[in-house]
Amino acid sequence: MNFNLITLSLIVLAMASVCRAQDYQVKSPDQKIAVSLKNGDELSYSVLFNGKSVLLESELGFELKVEAPMNKGFAVIGKKEQTINETWKPVVKSKHAEVLNYCNELTLLLKEKTGPMRQMELTIRVYNDGIAFRSKLFRSEKNGHRQITKELTTFNIPGTPKAWVVEYGKYSSSQESEFFERPLSYVTDKTIAGLPFLMDYGNNCWVAITEAVIDNYPAFYIGTNGKENDLTTKLAPLPGEDASGVKARFDDEVYTPWRVVMIGETPGVLIESEIIQNLNAPCAIADPSWIKPGISAWDHWWSGEVKMEMPVIKQYIDLASQMGWPYMLVDWQWYGKFNTPEADITKWAPQIDMPEIISYAKSKNVKILVWLYNSDVNRNSAYKKAFPIYQKWGIAGVKIDFMDRDDQDMVNWYHDIIKCAAENHLMVDFHGAYKPDGIIRTYPNMITREGVMGNEYYKFSEKMSPEHNVKLAFTRMLAGQMDYTPGAFLNVTKEQFKKQVPAIVWNTRAAELSKFVIYESPLTVVCDHPDHILNQPGSDFLKIVPTTWDDIRFLAGYPGEFVSIAKKTGSDWFVGVMNNSKEKEVTIKLDFIKAGEHVIDIWADAKDANKEPKNLKISSQKVKAGDLLKIKLANNGGWVARIK
């Protein structure tokens, strides 16, 4: 036998063995999802669900300023595998009283074989309802910053799934736009699409891309690198940098956010999922008992221009008291002119008396929240002085507005604000904000945020539609809490709608009530005027609907068509159904309630709701587990119920 041939064969076998050693697979506990990691010519990964491709081979790695790219030529110098199987109780129950955190995890420590021999840690988690991965980068051999200019992570999508795309067109925005159903080919290298990014692959496969634990790192958007269906991460650039410039600077180790791919046979799996919060750290507040979810009244410009008048403020406090809501939000101008160098967030405007407001509210068993402009909060670190003062006053929380950014600097500012607020027992509601990332688990005082095209748009825009409202449950809400500010009781038909003061909405009263069940917001801020709510049909529902939940069930629906969700609190179930602009009949099955007889109280579209959207039909009947309920939905209609 030829000695050279034997030697060559041994070398080939050895090389094949090395290649096999550089391929890794992680499966979900139920074995339905599999992630394959390939450390070959380039670092890449792929994903299967029920044996079919969800992601084809997709890139991993980074480009850094004055450094070679980090995406290939690695040796694995460390490996750790574990199963995480725990339950935890959230301080603020957005969906569940107890959350199961169950996944298989692989962590690899990678080191370049040549050159500067830089290291990178890669961790992959695979849950029954999705996957997540993140990287850890380390210090350089030189002192000073390392600078990331591009993250090379891609999501290589097979086939031609439908996508629901929210196109922001730029990296600085309030993230208040519509999600449109598009072919995936709509996304190009010019696209700056927001998250979550929902796709329907067909054949019982739904996928959504988003992120969790954004900390000391920019948020990302979706575009392509010029290759169709090869979605890429487009990081928000630092201020003063363009899209090709520096995205993140670090002089110590840095973790990327978790890149999350939610996966399920129905969109309901994604809606019910807790993967975003599971990726976050446990509660960091030693005693969070002061954090109290609930509904808030709001002296907003919804029904007129805010003038900061004591009688008006007290009227809204009275509304909260009469409705049994724990909060009232005092809006802009309470400290006078905002967004000016002279603005002082520790002093109230001359025409109002903040101590009297707080005292009056306390006498009505109501606590006060206050609005702040972000630059007034940030100027000279004003929040560090103001937040302890607010705690002494008895303020329950702050709503901070108009940040409109999610670059690394702004992300770190959010964390500074949240932590300082927690130290001073203040809840936080960010407006003009980026999407949630599950931080409510770690800092439950970060109780809600906007980053959604909500009810305020009815006042100055014609973009709002029932289709948009339905889509939000399948898209934006997958990321977490959203301060949509429901509760508009001036309901009109589409033909009657116009931009005006007081604001009106073109959906039915029952549809408006359904937002309180369907939309996730532990602090729910109601938009309308006391005169429009008190003693009006449906106001009785707003006295009993909670803002936190022990369980959630997706019942039926499709983005833009309709959505039906059931949520449990204590022994009661609440059900919300929201329709698009075309009347229809839907059926829901009561297979989520316990055996035995129950009473169901219903607030439904009246027979004439197509012409008179304010009209409700309120009824009660007996039901049992497994019953089928046929629900007639008006144009732009809805339906809510409590089962007790």
Q: How far apart are CA 274 and CA 293, in angstroms?
A: 19
Contact 411, 446 (CB under 8 A): no
pLDDT of residue 141: 86
The chain-wide mean pLDDT, for the chain, equals 95
Residue 531 has pLDDT above 80, yes or no: yes
Residue 17 has pLDDT above 90, yes or no: no
Contact 325, 297 (CB under 8 A): yes
Q: How far apart are CA 167 and CA 400, in angstroms?
A: 24
pLDDT single digits (tens) 487-511: 999 999 999 999 999 999 999 999 9
- pLDDT band at residue 303 under the 50/70/90 scheme: confident
- Write out the H or E segment, with its range, that includes residue 229: none
Residue 4 has pLDDT above 80, yes or no: no
> Nearest to residue 477, comparing CAs of 429, 515, 525?
515
| 224: Cβ contacts below 8 Å, ≥ 6 apart | 187, 188, 189, 191, 230, 231, 232
Identical fold at 282-451 and 453-644? Answer: yes
Average pLDDT over residues 231-243: 96
pLDDT of residue 363: 98
- Domain spans in the chain, listed from the N-terminal domain onward: 21-278, 282-451, 453-644
- pLDDT band at residue 253 under the 50/70/90 scheme: very high
Give me the residues paired with residue 231 across strands. Answer: 155, 224
pLDDT single digits (tens) 305-342: 778 999 999 999 999 999 999 999 999 999 999 999 99
b/e map 244-279, b = 16+ CB within 10 Å = eebbbbbeeebbbbbbbbbbbeebbbbbbbbbbbbb
Q: Which CATH class is domain 21-278?
A: mainly beta
> For residue 107, how many other CB atoms are within 10 A of its CB?
15
The alpha carbon of residue 227 and the mean position of all alpha carbons in its chain are separated, in whole angstroms, by 28
Amino acid at position 339, single letter? N
The fold of 282-451 is TIM Barrel (3.20.20)
Residue 19 has pLDDT above 60, yes or no: no
Residue 13 has pLDDT above 80, yes or no: no
Average pLDDT over residues 523-533: 97
Residue 437 has pLDDT above 90, yes or no: yes
> For residue 382, how many other CB atoms are within 10 A of its CB?
17
Residue 7 has pLDDT above 50, yes or no: no
| Residue showing tokens 């979550």 | 196
| 29: Cβ contacts below 8 Å, ≥ 6 apart | 83, 85, 102, 103, 104, 127, 128
Residue 14 has pLDDT above 70, yes or no: no
Residue 15 has pLDDT above 90, yes or no: no
What single string gives the DSSP state of each residue in 380-440?
GGHHHHHHHHHHHHT--EEEEE-----SHHHHHHHHHHHHHHHHTT-EEEESS-PPP-STT
Average pLDDT over residues 126-140: 97
Give me the residues paired with residue 181 across strands. Answer: 164
- Write out the H or E segment, with its range, that includes residue 212: strand 206-212
Q: How far apart are CA 66 and CA 69, in angstroms?
A: 9
For strands 446-449 and 427-430, give the pairing: parallel
What single string gives the DSSP state of each residue in 276-345?
HHHTSPPP--S--TT---EEEEE--GGGS-----HHHHHHHHHHHHHHT-SEEEE-TTTTSS-SSTT--T
Which strands, in side-by-side order, build the sheet including 33-39? 23-27, 33-39, 43-49, 52-59, 154-156, 230-235, 220-224
What single string gives the DSSP state of each residue in 470-487?
HHHHHTGGGGS-------
Residue 538 has pLDDT above 80, yes or no: yes
- pLDDT band at residue 381 under the 50/70/90 scheme: very high
pLDDT of residue 265: 98
Q: What is the pTM of this model?
A: 0.96
> Nearest to residue 421, comparing CAs of 383, 448, 455, 453?
383
Q: What would the CATH number be for the domain defined by 453-644?
A: 3.20.20.70
Terminal-to-terminal C-alpha distance of the chain: 84
Contact 599, 644 (CB under 8 A): yes
| 572: Cβ contacts below 8 Å, ≥ 6 apart | 642, 643, 644
> Nearest to residue 524, comparing CAs of 536, 534, 510, 512?
512
> For residue 189, how many other CB atoms are within 10 A of its CB?
11
Dihedral over Cα of 271, 470, 199, 151: its sign: negative
pLDDT of residue 144: 86
Q: How far apart are CA 161 and CA 267, in angstroms?
A: 14
Give me the residues paired with residue 624 across strands. Answer: 597
> Nearest to residue 185, comparing CAs of 207, 145, 157?
157
Average pLDDT over residues 553-560: 98
